[in-house]
Copies of this chain bind each other. A is one copy, B any other.
Amino acid sequence: MGKSSPGELWTLNFEVTMGVMAEVEPEVREQGLEMKEFFLLGKLDDHPYPADLARALITPKPTITFMVKRLESVGFVKRQTETGDLRRFRLTLTPSGRKAMEAARAILDEAFERRLARLSRSERAELARILVLLSEKNAPPR
């Protein structure tokens, strides 16, 4: 096991993540969702506007337009014009959209659960703690 530069370490991490995603993708697709659409739906409660989603998902606005268009056409998302700001559309999950999203989440949970089974309880807790630290918005360097 060689030395790991931060980048190599993170490449490892990235590959684990991508591997698990690739693993669950077929099953998620059976719920009528692409992986990217699943992530979009998962953000919808906190980020109900397309431009908001674009920022949260680090994805160009046109891509969001097309994804939302499809999700609306299959009845997973409802789009209503926002009273008070005619530029915006407020997006909401329909019941079937929420159902699909939660089913997909369960599938992802299960796959990561299998992967995390390699760790002890305390290692998992430590990992969770560290990841939260790393994800926090305003970087407090020590």
Contacts and interface: CB of A to CB of B under 8 A. Distances in A.
Contact of A10 (B22, B112, B123): B112
Nearest to A106: B7
Q: What is the total number of copies of this protein in its complex?
A: 2
A118 B106 CA distance: 31
Nearest to A112: B6
Contacts of A113: 6
A118 to B, nearest CB: 5
Interface stretch (A61-69, A88-96, A130-138): A130-138
Contacts of A42: 11
Nearest to A22: B58
Given A7-B105, A11-B39, A105-B7, A118 B131 contact: no
24 contacts: A1-B132, A4-B128, A6-B115, A7-B108, A7-B109, A9-B131, A10-B20, A10-B108, A10-B112, A11-B39, A13-B17, A13-B131, A13-B134, A15-B135, A16-B134, A17-B17, A22-B58, A114-B139, A115-B134, A117-B139, A117-B142, A118-B133, A119-B134, A123-B133
